[in-house]
Structure formats: C-alpha cells, structure tokens
Chain A
Amino acid sequence: MNHASFTRRDVLKAGGALVVSFMMPGPVDTALGQTPTTIGSRPPLTPDELDSWVAVLPDGSVTAFFGKMDMGQGVDTAIGQIVADELDVAFDRVQVVMGDTAFTCNQGGASGSTGIQNGGVTLRYAAAEARRLLVERAAQRLAVPVEKLTVQDGVVSVIGDARRTASYGELIGGGHFHHKLDWNQKYGNPLLAKGQAAPKKPSDYTIVGKSIPQKIVTEKVYGTLRYVTDVKVDGMLHARIIRPPAAGCGPVAVDESSIAGIPGVRIVREKELVAVVAEHEWDAVRAATTLKVTWAPPRMPFPTMEKLYDHIREAKAIGRQVPIERGDAAAALKAASRVVEADYEWPFQSHASMGPACAVADVRADQATVWTGSQKPHYGRDGVAKLLGLPRERVRAIWVPGPGSYGRNDAGDAAMDAALLSRRVGQPVRVQYMRNDSTGWDPKGPAGVYRGRAGLDAQGNVVAYEFFGKGFTRQDVATNESDPKDTLAGQLTGFAPKPTLIFQVPAEAYDFPNKRCGWECIAPLLDRASPLRTGHLRDPLGPETHFASESFIDEVAHAAGADPVAFRLKYVRDPRHAAVIKAAAERARWSPRPSPNPRGGQGNLMVGRGFSYTERNGTIVAAVAEVEVDRRSGRVWAKKFTVAHDCGLIINPKGLELTIEGNVVMAVSRTLFEEVAFDHDQVLSVDWTSYPILEIQDAPEQIDIVLINRPEKAATGAGEPATRTVPAAIANAIFDATGVRIRRVPITPARVRAALARV
C-alpha cells in the first residue's frame, strides 16, 4: 500500500490516467505541482457515491479514499487491509488517500479512536459493494452467472475454468462506478454509507488480522517524508505570532522602529492579533523576539497554583449531569455500616506536541488552500472558509503529516493564523509556532477534582457507590477548528467563544446495587484567548476520571480487606469485561492478597503492584503495574506493565501492540511528570524544562500485552483506551509498595517524599 501523501502527479504515475478529478481551479495548487485535468466525468464528492470511496486505476490497483486520519498508529494501513480483503486484491495494490478535502468525504478526521471503529465500516461496505459490481460486470463479459465466478488478486475468473478471466483493470480501470450508496445523511464520526453487498464473514479474512508493516515508516526513517513544516509554496512568506506576556491583555501600541534593524519584516495587526511576516524565516523569528509591543495591564485572571483545587471546589457549577443513577445511593450510604470516601486531583496538562504547530495558507480573492497538520482537515477547511467568508467549496485543506497530534492541539490555531495572515498580506503565508507558543498557548487538558464515596455493609459488600467529578469543561474550545470562535485567531479578532459544557463519568461495569455518577463544570478562568482554555487531549478526561475512580475502587477493596482483582471481579458480571480482568491478572501471575504488600517496604527500594480496569467506547482494558519506589529520592519507576486489551476484531496485531505501548508510555508521563504551571496572569510551562515529560530513563523495562481477539465482535478503538487504565494502576501499585495513598497527579518525587514523611 502506498501512503496517502497523494497528489494528482502520483495518480498519473501510478495509473497512467487520471481517475480522480475535482473542480478546484489550478493556481492555488502550486505546492502539489500539477494542474488538474479532468478525464471522464466523476460524480460529485458526496458520501452517497461509491466513487467517493473506491477507485480502480487502469493497472487494476485500488485507491481508497479515507475521510478519517492516521496520526502515526497505522490506521491507514488497517484501512488498506480492510479494503484489500473485501475487494480480494493484494494489499500492496491498495493505496489509501486521506486528509485532502478535495478527495475525501468528511468522516470526522482523527477523533475518539474511531478510525477503524467508525471510519473503517463505510470503507468495508464500499469495498464490498465495489467487488459486487465488478463481479457483475465480469459475469456479463464472461457470460456466466456470478455464482460461477471467483476473485483472486483483482482478477475475476470462472470457477473450474481459470483461463476465462477479467481483471478489475479491464472491467473498470480508470473509470467510475456511478453507483449510489445508502448514506445516513450524516457527516463526521457518525457518517455511514452502505451498498447492497454483504461484507465478508470474519472467518474469510486473509489480510485483516495480519501484522502488515506501515510503509510510511520507511519514509520517516530515511528522512524522505515531507511534513507540514516542510511545505513550500511559491511566494510564501514566513510568519510568527506575538502572544501577550499576560493572559487576556491586548496590544496597546506596537513600536515598528524596534525591528528597523531587520530588513523586510512586515508587522500585521488585526484587532488583538499581532504578527510579523518576513521573506526569510529566521528574520521572522528574530523580529518576533525583538518587536516591542505595549500590552494592556495584566488582569490577573488565574488563581495561584496552590489554590487551583480550592478554586474548583468553591466555584459555582454552571453545568451538571448525573448520567448514571441506579437505586438510591444517598439512602444506601446513610444506611451503610461503613463509608469510604476520598478526593482526587488532576492538573491542567499540555499536548506539548513534539513540534510546535505549522500551517501554510494561500488565500486568493475567491478561494483558499491550506496545508495543515491538523487531525481534522475537513473541519479546518470549514473554519478557514468561515473566517474568510468564502463558501466551503472554495476552500481546500490538505493534510500533511504534522509534529504529532493527540486531540485538539495547536494545529487548528496555526491554520487559522496562516489564513488570516495570507489574506492580509496577499501572499501565501507559513506560520510555525515557537516552543513557548505551543506548550504555553495550546488548549489544555482540563484540571479537575473527583470524589468517590462508597458504603459497605457489615460483611464488606458494597451497597452504595457515588462518584462525582468537577472541573473545567473538556470543550472550552470545541473538538475541532470548524468555527473560528474555537481558535486563538478567531477569538482575538472578534469571534465570541461559546464553550460546550461537558465532563466525564467513569466507564466500567461495576454492578453496585445503588450507584450514582455525575459531574459538574465550572466557568473558564478567562473567557477568551486563554492559555488555560481547555480542550480535547488524548482520551479527554479519561486518565483524569479513571485515575480517581480506579484508585477509589482500590481504596474500597482495601477497606473491605479484599484482593483488588477479586474485589473487582465480584462486581463485574459482564463476561467480556471479566475476561479482560482475568487475562491481565493471569499473565501478570497475580497472586491474591490485599494491599499493601507485606514485603514491599524493606530497604530503600519498595516494590508493589497495582491493578486497574476501564472501558472506553466498547474497548476494555485491564492493566497491572509493577513499580519501584525509592524511599530516599521519592522516584517512582513504573517498571513493568501487563495490559490485557479487548477491542473486538483485531485488524493488525503488531500495529495494535505498538499503539498500546504508546498509550501506556504517554500515560506514565502524564501520571508521573506532567503539570501545567501558571501564576496569576500567565502560563509558566513554556518549554520542555518547565513542562517536563517522561524521558527514556523512566520508560518501563517491559510492557507485556495480551491481545484478546474477538473476530465476531465489531472492531472498536485502540488509540486512546489504554491511556485511562494506566494512572490508577500506578497509584495503586505505589500504595501496595508503601502503604501510602497518593491522590494528586503528577506523582512527583517531591510529592512521594512528602507523603512518605507523613506516615
């Protein structure tokens, strides 16, 4: 399979004729190098057209058009496997195109680990329908009924007479199906389009289930892959954005003479947005650091860090939901013979993407092109169109791999900045943020507090369970940049933000007789253009909520004098969930006993094990963490993880394992190291020193993964679910090792030392 950095030139090279065409005029497309030519009439790019999903090139190779995205975990490889299997073509004969709004329908981009779970479903149906139509054509050409035909490697042949064949290339190569699908009229994650063909039975898969490597890895390793930071467009200028030193302060005056020594730099000011634009990138960098701007006086919108959790507890709730309510938890708590209660705290966290965001925009009078690293380029297109007042059809967004993306990071902001600046200067503009713009000003994972209360009867059974989270909404800015109001450029130029109030409850299957779980949201600390605005960060509110809920379950097990695994299994009656819990415990050779570890605390190095189990949108994960805690330094080393993972049908086992490893390591980082520092009017975490993340000394020694394949169950996501399982497994292991419960993240050496000193 060829990777998706797909251009018309590639199509020409690959197929000898252009099968994909679109109506964008040519001049905006200089970076792709090819003036569009239309051969034949392609139906409009709408989800109800089969041609929007699958094309067969003249050489019989297949192009699949994927409206979701891969951010490095190999989702596009998995999509290629699904399409190849349904069409009965070799995997190497399928290329997956994604991320270009001119070629793909909006399936929601990378979102909620649904690349395969949702995105793959329509591709599977479309490929199956394409096969059905191709076999029908072959039946006509060969004058035999379809039942007498078989397909192998894209060649239809008569069963029992292998000389009579018709290849896909001969049947349609370079042409279009002009065939309607049954589309549910939705865009984004819920988009679903089906044909009449029934997809294959899982037992008939020959490509799905294989560990096919990602081709793009080779381009990365040899240094030949073009990233969004490497896009160059004729006439392109370089821009840097000037952010205020104090949150919420607009520019009062800009001293142009301060950069007189740097030739060729233009200052752009639009309402509260200040930027410098230059022909040479280094001149833009120098100008941005040299330019003197007078800013409005500080507004002191933030509490101090020490007061953050008090602020959250005391702040008025502006949104509230109780999504889980079974029985009467309040009454049962009152009647319980014992009540266990605990509070947990999780800080703001940054995406801290590997590189600051970058985007290039070429805005013309009546059209625009934007090259973006955003994981949701279709929504980026919509946002740029709205910002510029252009019809959506006149804007094209082209995704080019970016410097990492796990949610609504700074990529959408950069695209909007680039579009705004290109319109102002009348030339293509490349915006790349500096490190402090990225870590300091990206949307943050929300800080919150969590409280668990459980009632036990005299025998230690849980009779009541209550869990509430309270904090900043996970969507102060929306999940994507489809509206300028959700970007810094928009908020600085007059688009009023409108947060959605949404939080999280634990996702698990504990069957407590009286159960009540809910949340409250509080107002953002600063209403717009805030460096502490909150948004989606990998598994939004997943690690936060389940750090608390799975730590709390352990505390209840401890109160009941129970083994943490046996205690969970007592209340988890769903057999699929129970199987995952058992699989992790068995692989880790878990021997039942209550925590803490009677042999954990000898010497300076204390050892312990912790368990955690969670569910996310159908995917079930259980983890055992084995940790070492250094009594003197307070350092926690999460030395080994055993992870059992059930996401239904597995498409690519090796890709899945690597994805789970990434989840675990990033979650260790978030649990042990990460916290956005701030003071009354600014974010102080602006680089890798002030926002440390895990380095390789702290990577585990081993991550042992048990993949539970359930071919009969629909494939669910893997990009995020393991993340939420990790934090409590670590905290529970620390308790097992030391007898000390740490309820605030990050679990830094200083906090561990302080907690141990209190014992």
Chain B
Amino acid sequence: MTERIRLVVDGKPTLLDADPALPLLYALRSELGLNNPKFGCGLAQCGACTVHVDGQPTRSCVMPVGAVRGKTITTIAGLGTPDQPHPLQAAYIAEQVPQCGYCLSGWMMTAAALLRDRPRPTDAQIREALAGLKCRCGTHMAILRAVKRAATS
C-alpha cells in the first residue's frame, strides 16, 4: 500500500512513503511535520487546509497524496518570508487582518492565486473569488482591505 511519493514542498524537493489514499493534508502535517495548513472540516467546506498544487488553490483535506505526485506544493509559509514578503503577507500585516488566524491558509492562498491571475480585481471579483471560505472571527472587512492593498502595492 505504501508508495514512495515525490513532492516539492515550499521549494524543497521531498520524498515520502505513504498510502496514496492518504489526504495531502495529513501527508503534509503528519508525515512532513508542517504546521500549515490546518484541519478545519475535512470536507473541503472551509478552506483552512488550502495549499497551492502547481499554483492552483487546493483543499488538501480531500486531495489524496497519490494524486499530486511530482507536483509543487506551496503553503503560506512558502508564499514569502519576513525578508521577502508576498504582497498579501505585507498587506495582511499592515491591515492587522487575523484574529484567531486559523483560517488564514484558505484566504491567503486563494487570494494569492486571484492576484496572480487578475492583478487589479474589483470588489465584486474579490468577493466572488473568495466565496466558500470561512472565517469565524468575522475579519472579512479587513480581508477585503488587505487584498485591495496587496493589489495596489
């Protein structure tokens, strides 16, 4: 059952031995020891587990690791660093967006893909792109401000 699977995770080539049916979220957290992304629902309903798979925002809690063999995985830790922040990270800090912060992977990874594909989105386009994500603390106003700030930075 266990197979050797090759991934690139946050820029690092990585090998792991796992059941291909294991959800990518558990592969990243349990096998590779990453703390992002988060388990929120296990049902692809909230976004807390979102990573980029070859640049596409993906709910890792329902994605079998066997389906992403050889692909490039990026978490929010791979978006940027304090020395070289992604514009969204800089904007999130400037706007002081997160409260509990547990939902961040969903919003930031989805918005990062939006801004890459559509660098100057309208308010309606931002809302449409971020549909389906959850934030229980109600930081939505700050999220909108941060995405707009990142878009104009």
User: A residues within 8 Å of B by Cβ?
Assistant: 71-74, 213-214, 217-218, 220-227, 229-230, 280-282, 285, 352-356, 401-406, 432, 434-435, 654-655, 658, 661-666, 668-669, 687-689, 693-697, 699-701, 703
Contacts and interface: CB of A to CB of B under 8 A. Distances in A.
Contact of A693 (B22, B98, B104, B134): B134
Given A229-B38, A687-B45, A697-B127, A354 B136 contact: yes
Nearest to B82: A222
Interface string B71-101: 0000111011110010001001100111111
B5 interface: no
Given A229-B38, A661-B138, A695 B131 contact: yes
B138 A696 contact: no
24 contacts: A72-B101, A217-B92, A217-B93, A221-B98, A223-B35, A223-B79, A223-B105, A224-B77, A229-B39, A282-B22, A282-B23, A282-B26, A285-B42, A354-B135, A401-B101, A404-B99, A654-B96, A661-B139, A663-B138, A666-B138, A669-B138, A695-B134, A696-B140, A697-B131
Contacts of B108: 221
Contact of B43 (A406, A664, A666, A688): A688
Contacts of B135: 354
A214 B23 contact: no
Contacts of A220: 98, 101, 104
B139 to A, nearest CB: 6
A695 B135 CA distance: 8
A688 B44 CA distance: 10
Interface of B: 22-23, 26, 29-30, 35-36, 38-43, 45-46, 48, 75-77, 79-82, 85, 89, 92-93, 96-105, 108, 123, 126-128, 130-144
Contacts, number: 171
A285 to B, nearest CB: 8
Nearest to A439: B41
A658 to B, nearest CB: 6
Nearest to A71: B100
A435 B41 contact: yes
A405 B100 contact: yes
Contact of B46 (A285, A354, A401, A655): A354
A74 B26 CA distance: 31
A689 B43 CA distance: 10
A182 to B, nearest CB: 36
A661 to B, nearest CB: 5
Nearest to A666: B138
Nearest to B90: A221
A694 B80 contact: no
A716 to B, nearest CB: 20
Contacts of A701: 123
B39 A355 contact: yes
Given A225-B101, A404-B102, A696 B133 contact: yes
A662 B99 contact: yes
B45 A689 contact: yes
- Tell me whether chain A's interface is mostly helix, strand or loop, or mixed: loop
B45 A222 contact: no
Most buried by B among A223, A227, A356, A699: A223
A434 B26 CA distance: 14
- Tell me whether chain B's interface is mostly helix, strand or loop, or mixed: loop
Nearest to A230: B35
B48 A354 contact: yes
B140 A699 contact: yes
B50 to A, nearest CB: 12
Most buried by A among B75, B79, B131, B136: B136
Given A227-B35, A282-B30, A695-B133, 19 more contacts: A71-B99, A72-B100, A213-B96, A220-B98, A225-B101, A353-B136, A354-B100, A401-B100, A402-B102, A403-B48, A655-B96, A662-B137, A662-B138, A668-B138, A688-B45, A689-B43, A693-B134, A696-B143, A701-B123
A666 B99 CA distance: 13
B6 to A, nearest CB: 20
A432 B89 CA distance: 29
A661 B142 contact: yes
B100 A688 contact: no
B48 to A, nearest CB: 6
Contacts of A688: 41, 43, 45-46, 134
A318 B20 CA distance: 56
Given A213-B96, A217-B97, A355 B138 contact: no
B39 A432 contact: yes
